Amino acid sequence: MNTLHQQVGKKRRKLKKRYFLLLLILLVLSGTVLFVGTSYSFREVPSPSDQLVTKPEITETPASNDQPETFTPPEESSPEPEVFPTIESDGTETPTDEQTEISSEGQTEMPMEENSEQPVEEKEPEKVVYITFDDGPSKWTEQFLDVLDAHDVKATFFMQGSNLKKEHLQESVKRAAKDGHYIGGHSMTHNYQALYSNQQFVPEMLESLDLIHEITGTTPRLVRPPYGSAPGLNGEQIRKQLADANIKIWDWTIDSHDWELPGNPSQIIQNIKQDTTSDKEVVLMHEKSQTLEALPDILNFFKDQGYIFGVYNDASHFVMNFQNDAAL
Residues that bind Zn ion (CB under 5 A): 61, 134-135, 226
| Least Cβ distance, residue 259 to Zn ion (angstroms) | 8
CA distance 81 to 62: 19
Q: Cβ atoms within 10 A of the Cβ of 156, count?
A: 23
Q: Which sign, positive or negative, has the C-alpha torsion 320, 291, 150, 305?
A: negative
Residues 223 and 185 sit within 8 Å (Cβ to Cβ):
yes
Q: By C-alpha distance, which of 107, 112, 121, 129 is closest to 44?
A: 121
| Least Cβ distance, residue 187 to Zn ion (angstroms) | 8
Q: Considering the candidates 134, 135, 255, 258, report the single residue annotated as catalytic.
A: 134
134 in catalytic set: yes
| Least Cβ distance, residue 60 to Zn ion (angstroms) | 5
Q: By C-alpha distance, which of 234, 298, 250 is closest to 74?
A: 234
Q: Report the residue number, 74 or 106, with the smaller CB distance to Zn ion.
A: 74
Residues 201 and 187 sit within 8 Å (Cβ to Cβ):
yes
| Least Cβ distance, residue 63 to Zn ion (angstroms) | 8
Q: By C-alpha distance, which of 182, 101, 87, 92 is closest to 134?
A: 182
Those residues whose C-beta lies under 8 Å from the C-beta of residue 24, and which sit 6 or more positions away, are none
Residues 216 and 175 sit within 8 Å (Cβ to Cβ):
no
Q: Report the residue number, 112 or 173, with the smaller CB distance to Zn ion.
A: 173
Alpha-carbon Rg for the chain, nearest whole angstrom, is: 27
| Least Cβ distance, residue 160 to Zn ion (angstroms) | 7
Q: By C-alpha distance, which of 229, 219, 184 is closest to 205?
A: 184
| Least Cβ distance, residue 227 to Zn ion (angstroms) | 7
Q: Report the residue number, 258 or 325, with the smaller CB distance to Zn ion.
A: 258
Q: Report the residue number, 185 or 226, with the smaller CB distance to Zn ion.
A: 226
Residue nearest to Zn ion (CB): 134
CA distance 53 to 203: 30
Q: Considering the candidates 258, 275, 286, 325, report the single residue annotated as catalytic.
A: 286
179 in catalytic set: no
Q: Report the residue number, 37 or 231, with the smaller CB distance to Zn ion.
A: 231
- Terminal-residue alpha carbon distance, the chain: 86
Q: Report the residue number, 135 or 251, with the smaller CB distance to Zn ion.
A: 135
Which active-site residues does the annotation give? 134, 286
